[in-house]
Amino acid sequence: MKRILLRVAYDGTNYCGWQLQPNGLAVEEVINRELSALLHENIAVIGASRTDSGVHAQGNVCVFDTHSRIPGEKFSYALNARMPQDIVIQESREVAADFHPRHCDCTKTYEYRIYNATFPNPLMRRYTHFLYRPLDVSVMREAAKYLVGEHDFKSFCSVNTQVKETVRTINRLEVLAEPADGISGHRIITIRINGNGFLYNMVRIIAGTLIEVGYHWRTPDSIAETLAACDRAGAGATAPACGLTLMGIHYDEALLTVKESHREVSVDAKRVVEMPDTTDIEK
């Protein structure tokens, strides 16, 4: 038995999100289906981040356990041959048998992209949120400073959450602007955020609030009050899913590395076990 990590990129447009849902096809579902068919085992991956319906990923992470003798780094090739065009396994590798992608320290990087121009751009429409009114990036950058660090982000969390603990740390929060289409005033504005964990809808609520700052509907320093109030009603609207991409999840390499002692146990176990060992698969 060995644990395999997959780094997964997907265009979220046609999916109801990462996690299995009754109302549509989930990314996780496609991966489980194709892995199970490939390996002739009943595979249920454990995902690192349950991205919402319509949200994209450049580097979400999941793990699964298998008896397969395919080398860790070859799963990506075998699996991509079966995958639809909008889900791609960017990397696969064997990891420590006790590595759990949610129950350990990590940081995540998200990008929220805004296409800010007179009219939408059909070549950007799937991966950006279109806004025609020009945003003032300098005040957005000022506002962003108030969010960096450890804070109670209750105001920036959907009221639908079941999470009790709402303190999180944002390590970096940048607001980037680059020219688009070669047309004066047309820009792609990227809100890039790295932190140790994010509450439900947190990045999209931060994006929606920074947009309101960029329109001068609220001042940069009002963000301090919004944080202190611990009240979702005080923050801005939740920005649309299509603008959001989970760029990557960063783990300490020591957590991932296969311990040699574990590998030996695993090899011994293989010799004697007749039935699949599913004791360490999360149900």
Catalytic positions are: 52
How many residues make contact with its own copies (CB under 8 A)? Answer: 29
- Given candidates 4, 5, 6, 9, which one binds its own copies under the rule CB under 8 A? 9
**Binding of residue 17 to its own copies (CB under 8 A):** no
Helix, strand, coil: what percent of the chain each, to 5? Answer: 30, 30, 45
**Binding of residue 118 to its own copies (CB under 8 A):** yes
**Alpha helix locations (H) across the chain?**
27-39, 75-80, 137-145, 202-214, 222-229, 253-256, 260-272
d(CA 261, CA 264): 5
Token code pair at residue 104: 């350990």
Token code pair at residue 163: 């999470």
- Given candidates 247, 249, 256, 281, which one binds its own copies under the rule CB under 8 A? 247
- Given candidates 16, 30, 55, 89, which one binds its own copies under the rule CB under 8 A? 89
Minimum distance, C-beta of residue 223 to its own copies, in the bound complex (Å): 28
**Binding of residue 35 to its own copies (CB under 8 A):** no
CB nearer its own copies, residue 59 or residue 234: 59
**Binding of residue 82 to its own copies (CB under 8 A):** no
DSSP E strands in 96-135: the ranges are: 107-116, 129-131
Region for residue 149 given its phi and psi (left: phi exceeds 0; alpha: psi -120 to 50; beta: otherwise): left
- Given candidates 208, 236, 243, 248, which one binds its own copies under the rule CB under 8 A? 248
d(CA 52, CA 175): 22
Minimum distance, C-beta of residue 278 to its own copies, in the bound complex (Å): 29
**Binding of residue 81 to its own copies (CB under 8 A):** no
CB nearer its own copies, residue 63 or residue 247: 247
**Binding of residue 34 to its own copies (CB under 8 A):** no
**Binding of residue 18 to its own copies (CB under 8 A):** no
Token code pair at residue 76: 């990506």
- Given candidates 22, 23, 165, 182, which one binds its own copies under the rule CB under 8 A? 182
**Binding of residue 128 to its own copies (CB under 8 A):** no
Q: Are 275 and 46 in contact (CB under 8 A)?
A: no
- Given candidates 62, 245, 249, 281, which one binds its own copies under the rule CB under 8 A? 245
Token code pair at residue 87: 């889900």
**End-to-end distance of the chain based on CA atoms, in angstroms?**
17
Q: Are 13 and 22 in contact (CB under 8 A)?
A: no
CB nearer its own copies, residue 125 or residue 259: 125
Concatenate the DSSP letters of all residues of 66-85 into one string: E---S-GGGHHHHHHTTS-T
- Given candidates 87, 147, 193, 246, which one binds its own copies under the rule CB under 8 A? 87
Pick from 280, 253, 238: which is nearest to 98 by CA?
280
**Binding of residue 147 to its own copies (CB under 8 A):** no
User: Which helix H or strand E contains 45, and what residues bound it?
Assistant: none
- Given candidates 80, 107, 161, 166, which one binds its own copies under the rule CB under 8 A? 80
CB nearer its own copies, residue 10 or residue 64: 10
How many Cβ atoms are within 10 Å of 169's Cβ, its own excluded? 14
Give the interface with its own copies as residue ranges (CB under 8 A). Answer: 9-11, 56, 58-59, 76, 80, 85-90, 118-123, 125-127, 181-183, 245, 247-248
